[in-house]
Amino acid sequence: MKRDMNLIREILLKLEEREPDAGAINVGPIEGVSKAEISHHTYLLHEAGLIRGVKSYPNGTFRTPQIVPICLTWSGHDFLEEARDPERWGKAMTVMEGLGTFTIGVAREILTGMIRTQMGQ
């Protein structure tokens, strides 16, 4: 399954909406996205250190664990602040498409550069 940066942003936005100390939450449903896609991307967000969550191993198997999201990390909040503006996000996605790369690191560099440009630096 390919990583979808738009879905990553959408999941972070949904996690941010929840009440503090609400415990574990269910991210879905997200229109047009399967449970498997949400589960996989939630796992990726956990591995990238953008969210905290509890690992759950389905049916005691050795498959990729599912992550039950708890909250965004500091880095997750920072990334979301950079990516929140839909216009800025769209421009960053266009740049990434032109580069042929879709990574959190590259996205952050592009978004940070755009913010600095807006600040006049």
Residue 9 CB partners (closer than 8 Å, separation 6+): 80, 83, 89
Question: Strand 66-72 to strand 51-56: parallel, antiparallel, or no bridges (unpaired)?
Answer: antiparallel
| Residue 77 pLDDT class (50, 70, 90 cuts) | very high
Residues 5-60 have pLDDT tens digits of: 999 999 999 888 876 666 556 676 888 998 889 889 999 999 999 999 888 877 76
| CATH, domain range 5-119 | 1.10.10.10
pLDDT value for 2: 86
d(CA 88, CA 94): 10
The answer, yes or no, to whether residue 62 has pLDDT greater than 80, is no
